[in-house]
């Protein structure tokens, strides 16, 4: 549901990114606060004041969600869980974990950190609103602080709902995991709860739509669909990890992939290899040594009129940690690398020589077959 995101800055070593959908949310929140929420709470102010209040409220919401996700990330770092970054998107934010928590205790503490952080923010903004009133600070400032206190408490309570992937759902999974010692079973129960909660939100959205509340109804329905999809995706991710964890990529790779020499032109690569074999990437090999890879990404980087003059060796990407793995690499780690880099194919090399190619398409096909056979059993 999210793209790669636009990196804004780094905070405590975490990349802070914003998905393009957040811009839509920022405009929607600012407009609704400036034209609906604040005028009803504090009447008879100048229109420009309401817009400044709307901008302040939207920025405060941005900071609040970031603080919530940052708390997850800091606790995760304490337990050695790699966090790729924090991305804000239309439904809030997400700390992008590269691995599952190592223990139920780590999962619970990481999950509860978010609601606790939001509750602390709610208390802080409530105190700030009270101080502003005591100091006779303009009513507009007091009401923005009061609004942020309310929205942070709402954020804390909503995230405590025991429905995966909400924080409450992760806390539920941690408790079940600790009880039974089976993370797969705990994940299934927690994601089933998430799917049920998502369905409830969709039903609530339809009820509001029938009642004429189009904005609220559509919003409930969209959040419900997101929760259901995220719950299903989380369980599928757990199944994938179960299928592949501890298995080296050498078991799943193509051992005789098509290769190309470095001295042919990009024009030849396109006409004689891409259009003939329909592959997105080709290892570049010379004298039995793996030099790099050339594919759609490298071809697109060169203007069309230069394809006949630029060689594959000049345009290729050199072997690096993002496109090459060893035969002993864990298949789960290879999948995580594909997800992180956007590469659907990884070269498998040993001592500078190509031994195979592992593709996302083949791994997904194997997952489908395993789920059909073992799921049915």
For residues 15 and 128, state if they share a domain. yes
CA angle centred on 32, ends 206 and 123, rounded to 5°: 95
- Flag whether 57 is in a domain: yes
For residues 355 and 276, state if they share a domain. yes
- Summarised one tens digit per residue, pLDDT across range 235-285 is 777 777 777 777 898 988 999 899 999 999 999 999 999 999 988 899 999
- Summarised one tens digit per residue, pLDDT across range 222-242 is 888 988 888 887 777 777 777
At residue 159 the predicted structure's pLDDT band, cuts being 50, 70 and 90, is very high
CA angle centred on 276, ends 275 and 278, rounded to 5°: 65
For residues 108 and 211, state if they share a domain. no
Q: What is the pLDDT of residue 203?
A: 94
Residue-range definition of the domain harbouring residue 70: 6-160
CA distance 293 to 295: 7
- Flag whether 172 is in a domain: no
Q: What is the pLDDT of residue 376?
A: 45
- Flag whether 169 is in a domain: no
Task: Give percent of the chain with pLDDT exceeding 70.
Answer: 95
- Flag whether 170 is in a domain: no
Is residue 133 among the annotated active site residues?
no
Q: Which of 118, 16, 160, 12 is nearest to 74 (CA)?
A: 12
- Flag whether 165 is in a domain: no
Q: 12 burial class (0-12, 13-18, 19+ CB within 10 angstroms)?
A: exposed
- In the block, tokens 């034209």 appear at 35
pLDDT at 197 exceeding the cut of 90: yes
| Catalytic residue, candidates 69, 96, 107, 298 | 69
Q: 152 burial class (0-12, 13-18, 19+ CB within 10 angstroms)?
A: buried
Backbone angles phi, psi at 233, to 5 degrees: -65, -35
pLDDT at 90 exceeding the cut of 90: no
- Flag whether 69 is in a domain: yes
Q: What is the pLDDT of residue 374?
A: 63
For residues 27 and 148, state if they share a domain. yes
Q: What is the pLDDT of residue 247?
A: 84
Mean residue pLDDT of the chain comes to 88
For residues 35 and 122, state if they share a domain. yes
Question: What does the block give as tokens for 76?
Answer: 């995760």
pTM of the model: 0.73
pLDDT at 1 exceeding the cut of 50: no
For residues 105 and 231, state if they share a domain. no
For residues 23 and 144, state if they share a domain. yes
Q: What is the pLDDT of residue 26?
A: 85
Q: How far is CA 356 from CA 261, 297, 348, in A?
A: 16, 20, 5
- Flag whether 87 is in a domain: yes
Residue 354: CATH number of its domain:
3.10.580.10
Which range (83-92, 174-183, 205-214) has the least confidence? 83-92
Which range (64-73, 143-152, 223-232) has the least confidence? 223-232
104 vs 184: which has the higher pLDDT:
104
DSSP element (H, E) containing 90: none
For residues 61 and 190, state if they share a domain. no
Residues 302-316: what's their mean pLDDT? 95
Domain boundary among the residues 160, 188, 207 is at: 160
What is the number of domains present in the chain? 3
CA distance 134 to 162: 39
């Amino acid at each position: 549901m999210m793209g790669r995101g636009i990196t804004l800055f780094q905070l405590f070593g975490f990349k802070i990114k914003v998905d393009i959908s957040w811009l839509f949310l920022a405009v929607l929140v600012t407009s609704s606060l400036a034209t609906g929420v604040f005028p009803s709470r504090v009447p008879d102010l100048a229109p420009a004041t309401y817009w400044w209040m709307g901008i302040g409220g939207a920025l405060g919401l941005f900071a609040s969600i970031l603080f919530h996700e940052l708390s997850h990330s800091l606790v995760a770092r304490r337990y050695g869980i790699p966090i790729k970054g924090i991305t804000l998107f239309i439904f809030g934010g997400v700390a992008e974990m590269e691995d599952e928590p190592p223990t139920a205790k780590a999962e619970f503490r990481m999950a509860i950190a978010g609601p606790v952080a939001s509750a602390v923010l709610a208390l802080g903004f409530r105190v700030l609103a009270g101080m502003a009133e005591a100091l006779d600070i303009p009513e507009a400032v007091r009401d923005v602080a009061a609004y942020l206190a309310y929205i942070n408490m709402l954020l804390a309570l909503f995230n405590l709902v025991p429905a995966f992937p909400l924080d409450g759902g992760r806390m539920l999974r941690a408790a079940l995991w600790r009880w039974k010692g089976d993370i797969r079973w705990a994940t299934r129960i927690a994601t089933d709860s998430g799917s049920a909660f998502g369905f409830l939100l969709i039903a609530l959205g339809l009820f509001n739509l029938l009642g004429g509340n189009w904005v609220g109804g559509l919003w409930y329905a969209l959040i419900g669909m997101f929760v259901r999809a995220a719950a299903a995706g989380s369980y599928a991710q757990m199944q994938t990890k179960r299928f592949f964890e501890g298995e080296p990529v050498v078991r799943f790779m193509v051992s005789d992939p098509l290769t190309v020499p470095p001295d042919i032109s990009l024009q030849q690569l396109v006409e004689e290899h891409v259009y003939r074999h329909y592959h997105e990437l080709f290892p570049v090999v010379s004298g039995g040594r793996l030099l790099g890879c050339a594919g759609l990404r490298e071809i697109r980087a060169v203007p069309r009129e230069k394809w006949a003059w630029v060689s594959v060796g000049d345009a290729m990407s050199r072997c690096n940690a993002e496109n090459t793995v060893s035969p002993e690499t864990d298949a789960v780690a290879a999948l995580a690398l594909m997800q992180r880099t956007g590469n659907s194919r990884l070269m498998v090399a040993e001592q500078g020589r190509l031994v195979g190619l592992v593709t996302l398409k083949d791994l997904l096909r194997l997952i489908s077959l395993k789920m059909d056979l073992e799921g049915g059993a």
